[in-house]
Amino acid sequence: MNRLYFGDNLQWLSDRKEFPDESVDLVYLDPPFNSNADYNVLFREPSGQVSQAQFHAFTDTWSWADAADTYHQFIDTCRNVAVVELMEALHSFLKHSPMMAYLAMMAPPLVELHRVLKSTGSLYLHCDPTASHYLRIALDEIFDAKNFRNEIVWKRSSSHADIKQGMRRCGRIHDVLLLYAKSDTAIWNPVFTPYDEDYVESMYRFVDDQGRRYREGDLTAARPGGDVSFEWRVKRRINSNERWISSKWE
Ligand SMILES: C[S@@+](CC[C@H](N)C(=O)[O-])C[C@H]1O[C@@H](n2cnc3c(N)ncnc32)[C@H](O)[C@@H]1O
């Protein structure tokens, strides 16, 4: 308990005395995203100004030259045949690409994390759309697709376009949290926290005739999954009952 492990995660995880099977309750993983960038820690002057001083925090660029040994060692030693077949399949079309090098770095610790998780445990993997689709396939194989729980979208900023930077696409504004359970006995504690007063004041500005606060929000489609035939629908009090009505009805 309360121990911080410094260094390569796979090296620590492979130590079965330190990390026996089924010994961990929860994993929150925030690895590099394969963003093809280097990250530095910038220092600030006492004035708060960003100083010239900085140091290299980590590199998130991956090359096959660095990953080939890790890949082949994984293929030769991993006992999960399905995962080995998947990595070989990915290798067959990603070839010696930086993405394959990245996946070769990610797969071994993910297999170990599955081993150390208790059957009541869960894993959150923080990534972004750069590699989330490949990581999801790998986790489907390592954890079994039936143990997939959520793809949580972490909206990092409100919409913005990178047109000024010459981008010919929409702004990229979200990260992804992939949630997998180890088994269907995984612990799930829904967390509800009361809104603080300021939040209620600022966000729920309207009060209905029964004194209940409410906020205005975007309209949903008529049916789950969307139904373009109707423009919108809202809840209305008809006599004493509340009912969903759609634009057509009105
Ligand atoms: C996205 S950053 C994590 C940021 C951090 N969670 C935060 O919120 O500030 C990814 C981190 O993974 C670390 N990392 C990369 N490869 C690793 C490895 N094999 N074992 C352990 N940590 C690694 C990098 O040094 C970097 O600090």
Q: What is the pLDDT of residues 21-71, one digit of tens each?
A: 999 999 999 999 999 888 887 777 778 777 777 777 788 999 999 999 999
What is the percent of the chain with per-residue pLDDT over 70, rounded to a whole number? 86
Dist. CA 80–CA 144, nearest whole Å: 12
Which regions of the chain does DSSP assign to beta strands (E)?
24-29, 37-44, 50-60, 117-127, 148-155, 174-181, 206-207, 213-214, 233-238, 241-246
pLDDT of residue 232 exceeding 70, the answer is no
- What's the 240 CA to ligand 1 centre distance in angstroms? 56
* Residues 8, 13, 18, 24, CA torsion sign: positive
Q: Measured at the alpha carbon of residue 163, what is the angle toward residues 157 and 164, in degrees to the nearest 5? A: 100
State the pLDDT at residue 234: 61
Mean pLDDT for 140-155 is 97
In a domain, 170, yes or no: yes
- What's the 97 CA to ligand 1 centre distance in angstroms? 21
In a domain, 231, yes or no: no
Burial of 203 (0-12, 13-18, 19+ CB in 10 A): exposed
Confidence of residue 221 (pLDDT cuts 50, 70, 90): low
In a domain, 233, yes or no: no
State the pLDDT at residue 178: 98
What is the total count of domains within the chain?
1
- Ligand 1 is surrounded, with C-beta below 6 A, by 8-9, 30-32, 57-58
Token duo for residue 153? 């979208």
Domain range for 27:
9-181
Dist. CA 93–CA 96, nearest whole Å: 9
Does the global pTM surpass 0.85? no
Which residue's CA is the nearest one to ligand 1's atom 14?
Answer: 31
In a domain, 205, yes or no: no
State the pLDDT at residue 227: 54
Q: To the nearest whole number, what is the mean pLDDT of the chain? A: 88
In a domain, 115, yes or no: yes
Amino acid (1-letter code) at residue 129:
P
Confidence of residue 96 (pLDDT cuts 50, 70, 90): very high
Which residue's CA is the nearest one to ligand 1's atom 4?
Answer: 30
Token duo for residue 243? 């009912």
Mean pLDDT for 206-211 is 91
In a domain, 118, yes or no: yes
pLDDT of residue 237 exceeding 80, the answer is no
Q: Which residues, 6 or more positions from 86, have their beta carbon under 8 angstroms from its beta carbon?
A: 137, 138, 141
Confidence of residue 235 (pLDDT cuts 50, 70, 90): low
- What's the 30 CA to ligand 1 centre distance in angstroms? 6
Count the residues in the chain: 250
In a domain, 65, yes or no: yes
In a domain, 176, yes or no: yes
